[in-house]
Structure 1
Amino acid sequence: MEIELKNTTGMQFVSKTPSGHDVIIDASPEVGGTNSGPRALELFLLGIGGCTGIDVAMILKKMKVDYKDLRVKLETERKENHPRAFTKIHIKYYFKGNNLPIEKLERAVKLSQEKYCSASATVKGVAEVTYEIIVEEE
Structure 2
Amino acid sequence: MSAKTTVKWTKRMSFEADLDGHKIIIDADPSVGGENKGPKPKPLMLVALAGCTGMDVVSMLTKMRVELEDFSIDVEANLTTEHPKYFDAFTIVYTFKGKDLPMAKLEKAVNLSQERYCGVSDMYRKFASIDHKIVVVE
Q: Same fold (TM over 0.5)?
A: yes
1:41-66 CA-to-partner distances (Å, cap 9, x unmatched) read 12111011111111101110111100
Q: Give the aligned partner of residue 10 of structure 1.
A: 12
TM-score scaled to structure 2, two decimals? Answer: 0.95
Gaps of 5+ in 1: none
Query: 1:28 Cα shift?
Result: 0.6
Residue 125 (structure 1) shift: 2.6
Query: Superposition pairs for residues 1-138 of structure 1, below 5 Å?
Result: 1-18=3-20, 20-137=21-138
Q: Distance in 1 between matches of 2:89 and 2:45?
A: 14
What is the one-letter code of the residue matched to 1:12? S
SS in 1 for 2:127: coil
Please state how far the C-alpha of 1:87 moved relative to its aligned partner: 1.3
SS at match of 1:40: coil
Q: Which string of whole-angstrom CA distances, capped at 9 and with x for unpartnered residues, describes residues 13-59 of structure 1?
A: 102112x1111100011001111111111211101111111110111
Whether the aligned pair in 1 keeps the contact of 2:46 and 2:76 (CA below 8 Å) is: no
Q: TM-score, normalised by structure 1?
A: 0.95
Instruction: Give, as a single letter, the amino acid of the residue that structure 2 aligns with 1:108.
Output: A
Please tell me the root mean square deviation across aligned C-alpha atoms, in Å.
Answer: 0.8
Structure 2 gaps, min length 5: none
Q: After TM superposition, which residue ranges in structure 1, 4 or more long, deviate above 4 angstroms?
A: none
